[in-house]
Amino acid sequence: MSFRRSLYKTPAQLRLMQAPGLATAASLDAARAVLRAGSTTLEADAAAEAAITARGGRSNFKLEPGYRHTVCASVNEDVVHGIPSGRKLEPGDIVSIDSGAVIDGWNGDAAFTLVIPDPSRPDRTAERQRLSDITEQSLWRGIAQLAKARYLNEVGEAIQDYIESQGSYGILTDYVGHGIGRSMHEAPPVFNYRVRQKGPEVRPGLVVAIEPMVVHGDIDTFVREDGWTVATSDGSAAAHWEHSIAVHKDGIWVLTASDGGAEALKPLGVTPVPIS
Binding status of residue 254 toward Mg ion by CB under 5 A: no
Q: Is 182 helix (H, G, I), strand (E, B) or coil?
A: coil
Q: Shortest gap between Cβ of 91 and Mg ion (angstroms)?
A: 29
Q: Shortest gap between Cβ of 29 and Mg ion (angstroms)?
A: 18
Q: Shortest gap between Cβ of 211 and Mg ion (angstroms)?
A: 5
Q: Is 187 helix (H, G, I), strand (E, B) or coil?
A: strand
Q: Which stretch binds Mg ion (CB under 5 A): 134-142, 151-159, 202-210, 228-236?
A: 202-210
Q: Which stretch binds Mg ion (CB under 5 A): 26-34, 57-65, 138-146, 204-212?
A: 204-212
Distance set, CA 47 to CA 39, 179, 256 (Å): 12, 27, 17
For Mg ion, the closer of residues 116 and 242 by Cβ is 242
Angle at 132 between CA 126 and CA 135, to 5 degrees: 140
For Mg ion, the closer of residues 77 and 109 by Cβ is 109
Task: Single out the residue of 207, 209, 219, 264 in contact with Mg ion (rule: CB under 5 A).
Answer: 209
Q: Which stretch binds Mg ion (CB under 5 A): 12-20, 40-48, 162-170, 208-216?
A: 208-216
Binding status of residue 28 toward Mg ion by CB under 5 A: no
Q: Which stretch binds Mg ion (CB under 5 A): 33-41, 58-66, 101-109, 147-155?
A: 101-109
Contact in structure between 137 and 161 (CB atoms under 8 Å): no
For Mg ion, the closer of residues 35 and 209 by Cβ is 209
Q: Shortest gap between Cβ of 223 and Mg ion (angstroms)?
A: 17
Binding status of residue 109 toward Mg ion by CB under 5 A: yes
Distance set, CA 263 to CA 103, 130, 155, 176 (Å): 26, 20, 19, 25
Q: Which stretch binds Mg ion (CB under 5 A): 73-81, 145-153, 207-215, 257-265?
A: 207-215
Contact in structure between 107 and 79 (CB atoms under 8 Å): no
Spatial distance between the Cα atoms of 206 and 85, rounded to a whole number of angstroms: 35
Contact in structure between 232 and 250 (CB atoms under 8 Å): no
Residues 210-249 that bind Mg ion (CB under 5 A): 211
Helices assigned H by DSSP within 99-178? 122-148, 154-165
The gap between the terminal CA atoms of the chain, to the nearest Å, is: 33
Footprint on this chain of Mg ion (rule: CB under 5 A): 109, 209, 211
